[in-house]
Structure 1
Amino acid sequence: MSQDLKKILENSRKALEEMKRCSQEDVDLMCRVINKAVHENAEELAKLAVEETGMGNVESKIVKNTTMGSGVWLTMKNKKSVGIIGEDREKGLVYVAHPKGVIGSVSPITNPTITPLGNAMLAIKGRNTIIVSPHPRAQETTGKTIEYMNQALAEIDAPENVIQMVKDPSIEATQELMASSDVIVATGGMGMVKAAYSSGRPAFGVGQGNVQAVIGQDYDDLELAAEFIIMGRTFDNGLICACNQSVIVHEDRKADMVKALEDKGAYFIEDKEDVDKIRKILFEDGVLKIDIVGKTAFEIASKAGLDIPEDTSALVVATQSRGSEDPLCGEKLCPVLILTTYSDFEDGVEIAKANLLYQGAGHTAVVHSNDREKIEYAAVELPVGRLLVNVPGIAAGGGGLFTHLNPTPSLGCGSWGGNSISENLIYEHLLNISTIAYPRKGEPPTDEEIWAE
């Protein structure tokens, strides 16, 4: 282990002891001020991220930098996370919160600000400390984010070194951090997430995204569906794991769906030669090329030799393939959608399922429908932790604008995606809970009561 990392860990352990003496009011104020610090510097951090990584767009990153942390704060404020946090008087159970310790956070190139911010808020709420390992190609942005958060903490006389960052990030340094932390929160590529689960430490990882959108035959507002699908596909040039990846529509409504998407600025590609050009520019041996990640639809089409309007919002590529039959059916971290038709709703769900089992199992799917029976059928059949209804895929991360899902920087994908949780990561996941159990009242149940039908 390098001397720098050793010192960072020592400082984090020392800060942890100080955090254990903090009150509920102390940690809540800390969470509030670090969110406010990022919020106030959202535009600078957004511009820096685009400049440093060459991915995404400033406008979307400003939205991320101002809303994700605020959503996390809104759902955690006024909730207990220190000392006695709840009780069940009838059963004689009292719940006591303790910190989990030093949290090792792996931050991706796609979210160099909101991942450190969100994970820091979740950690601090539970009186933990956190060490962030940034992506090497986003370390300046992550470093500036942490600098602003630490300035805010210093202004309220919070313990020092609650939030730290690995210097000179590398695979080796990240592995050393994971092996030395008490808990790991890994957000990034599947290789890094698997390394976190193999570190010998408790870990929370995320699974790969590949959000499928099935349009029900009953759904009569294709314009709204198209609006939300394009919104969910183009946000930050498609970098978000919760971005929409497909449009699965009944064969009789294909033309209407295409028209609705085109009205939202999309460019539809059905010619097989042109589809093949897009496939080749996106993938090499079935693997997404890094140089198209986070680029605009116009840039991608230009690379493929296609002449399209410069203000095109997204490329919509027709395919009747499903799952592993075509790499286009997988995750595409850029504003490219596939459009597939189905013969009946059950077939549409099967298409979505095949695509998810190819890539994205456990993450998210969307159904545009007002038929509760169909919605619940999809929920039973699809291997996802979140089934969204009539909203953009990006709503999976929560925030309250579209649903009441918990806002989070990390979306668990359950055993489908090789994760320990299937829900959105929240501060309770970073608490150790002790339970005081008082003697039960009354007599224990009899055998007759236990075995009664």
Structure 2
Amino acid sequence: MNTQEYLEELIGKARTAQKEFETYTQEKVDEAVRAIGKSVYDHAEELANLAVEETRMGRVDSKIAKCRNKAKSTWWRMKGKKSRGIIERDEKNGIVKVAKPIGVVGCITATTNPVINPMHNSMCALKCGNAVIICPHPRAKKVGVRTVELMNEALDQLGMPNNLIQIIAEPTMELSAGLMKFADLCVCTGGPALVKTAYSSGKPVYGVGQGNVQVLVDRDVDYDEVAKMVIAGRTFDNGVLCTCEQNIICPRDKAGEMIAAVKANGAYYIGTQGEADKVRDSAFPDGVFNKAWTGTTVQEIAELAGLKDVPQDAKVIVCCTHGYARDEVLSKEKLFPVLALFLYDTWEDAMEIARANLAEEGMGHSVVIHSNTQEHIEAVSFVVNVSRYAVNQVGGTALGGAMDNGLNPTTTLGCGTWGNNVISENLWYTHLMNVSRISYKVPEMYIPTDKEIWAE
């Protein structure tokens, strides 16, 4: 069977299942969504171990936490929400909104989130009456298949249609590109090259931009608490997530306090350019990211870079810098537990460092702000163009949505036109439905005169 025949068979099965599923009530649809989320929650340990074993990146404890937290936060935010049939009546304007499925949603999932990416995309898709076909990263195909098996077992127990969720068990670039063209819409979570391919497929696509989370630290915060949060975010899953903190931008007159705080919380600080060069040269030879560093531990980093004095219990490495943006390669996204430390004199300088670093890599994604001055916090939004600003939170676990903030729980973070994306928010089930509008005439609607309309 050739590629086209194989994909046509998958799409055919998906369409048959979807046509039946779209006739189900909101209650039945929600049963399916809850079941697949709960299946991942219940098998978090198994799936986390499989993911680390196969991908050889990240941490089991972090992946267990991701499976459980993303499953429960996604279901909690979806629970009780209308997504089928009439979802809104606007009596004032005479508009009735009717939600309809897209059809078959193709999902290209990332090796960094091989479990929660398929789970979240499937929950969002099924919430709106769609069917799903998942194409995992080749390096995460086994754990992807197991994740889909567990979700389908849960659906089978409810008597749901077969083939609502399917997976390409032996993924290739050809199959990935083909799925983008055959599906009605594609959610593409991966690197810039993959997203670019998706955008050329001729079908609607939700893609993501590159992460490079800048951390702006004000003078009016507890530096020990900031250090705890930044290190927690930077070390989560060995730093492979796009939401992980990357660069600390700290007041120059508070540098000593910041360095002492990160050291006290498990960081190994590199304060000489010679030692920092070892990290730069190994992690970014000729300025290009060395993929061998992805998801490595601090101890592996020390070996790769030839660092001699890194303690065995060090959680993260913090490097001094020279310049910023294109003058400092460590200003780029680092998919491993290393933070770069940048110093500023004024808040305006801090915002410019963040803006310039993101202009090199990560525009449109996210920043974290540690400040208790509202004027400073809100000023960042006018200078630094990203889609989300997390205030006094752990970026690694908050930017993708959490139980204690209002961001949509997601594994697909849109970066707006800054990041060459169509959405500038966290992908949610509302993005995977068509909405029709019934318009009634409103006899009592006020109609102004031309003079009123054009009055200055």
Q: Verify same fold: TM over 0.5.
A: yes
- Contact 1:81–1:97, Cα closer than 8 Å, also in 2: yes
Q: How far did 1:393 drift?
A: 1.1
* 1:444 maps onto 2:442 in alignment: no
CA distance in 2 between counterparts of 1:277 and 1:228 reads: 27
Partner of 1:346: 348
* 1:110 maps onto 2:119 in alignment: no
What SS class does the counterpart of residue 245 from structure 2 fall into? coil
Partner of 2:145: 143
CA distance in 1 between counterparts of 2:407 and 2:245 reads: 17
Matches of residues 370-409 of structure 1 in structure 2 within 5 Å? 370-394=372-396, 395-401=398-404, 403-409=405-411
Matches of residues 53-452 of structure 1 in structure 2 within 5 Å? 53-219=55-221, 221-307=222-308, 308-394=310-396, 395-401=398-404, 403-442=405-444, 444-452=447-455
- Contact 1:320–1:341, Cα closer than 8 Å, also in 2: no
Q: How far did 1:141 drift?
A: 0.5
CA distance in 2 between counterparts of 1:320 and 1:89 reads: 60
Deviations 1:343-366 (A, max 9, x none): 111001100111111111111001
What SS class does the counterpart of residue 73 from structure 1 fall into? helix
Partner of 1:36: 38
Q: How far did 1:19 drift?
A: 1.5
Q: How many residue pairs are counted as aligned between the two chains?
A: 451
Structure 2 letter corresponding to 1:31: V
CA distance in 1 between counterparts of 2:72 and 2:193 reads: 30
Q: CA RMSD in A?
A: 1.0
What SS class does the counterpart of residue 288 from structure 1 fall into? coil
CA distance in 2 between counterparts of 1:162 and 1:446 reads: 54
CA distance in 2 between counterparts of 1:118 and 1:235 reads: 19
Partner of 2:21: 19
What SS class does the counterpart of residue 184 from structure 1 fall into? strand
Q: How far did 1:390 drift?
A: 0.7
Q: How far did 1:239 drift?
A: 0.7
- Contact 2:145–2:169, Cα closer than 8 Å, also in 1: no
CA distance in 1 between counterparts of 2:285 and 2:177 reads: 28
CA distance in 2 between counterparts of 1:320 and 1:388 reads: 26
- Contact 1:369–1:375, Cα closer than 8 Å, also in 2: yes
Deviations 1:151-195 (A, max 9, x none): 000000011101001132111110000011111100011111111
- % identical equivalent positions: 46
CA distance in 2 between counterparts of 1:134 and 1:448 reads: 60
Q: Which runs of 5+ in 1 are unaligned?
A: none
- Contact 2:402–2:409, Cα closer than 8 Å, also in 1: yes
Structure 1 letter corresponding to 2:63: K
Q: How far did 1:6 drift?
A: 2.0
Q: How far did 1:318 drift?
A: 0.7
Deviations 1:86-133 (A, max 9, x none): 111011110000001111100111000000000000000000111000
CA distance in 2 between counterparts of 1:8 and 1:326 reads: 47
Once structures 1 and 2 are overlaid, which stretch shifts more, 136-145 or 2-11? 2-11
Q: How far did 1:279 drift?
A: 0.7
CA distance in 2 between counterparts of 1:182 and 1:75 reads: 25
Q: How far did 1:444 drift?
A: 2.6
- Contact 1:39–1:66, Cα closer than 8 Å, also in 2: yes
Structure 1 letter corresponding to 2:211: G
Deviations 1:49-108 (A, max 9, x none): 111011001000000010112111111110100100011101111000000111110011
Q: How far did 1:404 drift?
A: 1.6
Q: How far did 1:32 drift?
A: 0.4
- Contact 1:130–1:164, Cα closer than 8 Å, also in 2: yes
Q: How far did 1:325 drift?
A: 1.9
Once structures 1 and 2 are overlaid, which stretch shifts more, 302-311 or 152-161? 302-311
Once structures 1 and 2 are overlaid, which stretch shifts more, 317-326 or 54-63? 317-326
Q: How far did 1:302 drift?
A: 1.6
Q: How far did 1:326 drift?
A: 2.2
Structure 1 letter corresponding to 2:278: K
Deviations 1:32-54 (A, max 9, x none): 01111111110010001111011
Structure 2 letter corresponding to 1:252: D
Q: Which runs of 5+ in 2 are unaligned?
A: none
CA distance in 2 between counterparts of 1:262 and 1:20 reads: 55
Structure 1 letter corresponding to 2:450: D
- Contact 1:281–1:300, Cα closer than 8 Å, also in 2: no
Deviations 1:7-26 (A, max 9, x none): 11110111111121111011
Structure 2 letter corresponding to 1:155: Q
Once structures 1 and 2 are overlaid, which stretch shifts more, 14-23 or 320-329? 320-329
Deviations 1:369-424 (A, max 9, x none): 000000010111111000111111121001223x2211111110000001000001
Moved over 3 A (4+): none
Q: How far did 1:451 drift?
A: 1.2
- Contact 1:120–1:163, Cα closer than 8 Å, also in 2: yes
TM-score (norm 1): 0.98
What SS class does the counterpart of residue 397 from structure 1 fall into? coil
- Contact 2:7–2:182, Cα closer than 8 Å, also in 1: no
CA distance in 2 between counterparts of 1:69 and 1:343 reads: 42
Q: How far did 1:2 drift?
A: 3.8
Once structures 1 and 2 are overlaid, which stretch shifts more, 141-150 or 441-450? 441-450
- Contact 2:322–2:328, Cα closer than 8 Å, also in 1: no
- Contact 1:4–1:167, Cα closer than 8 Å, also in 2: no
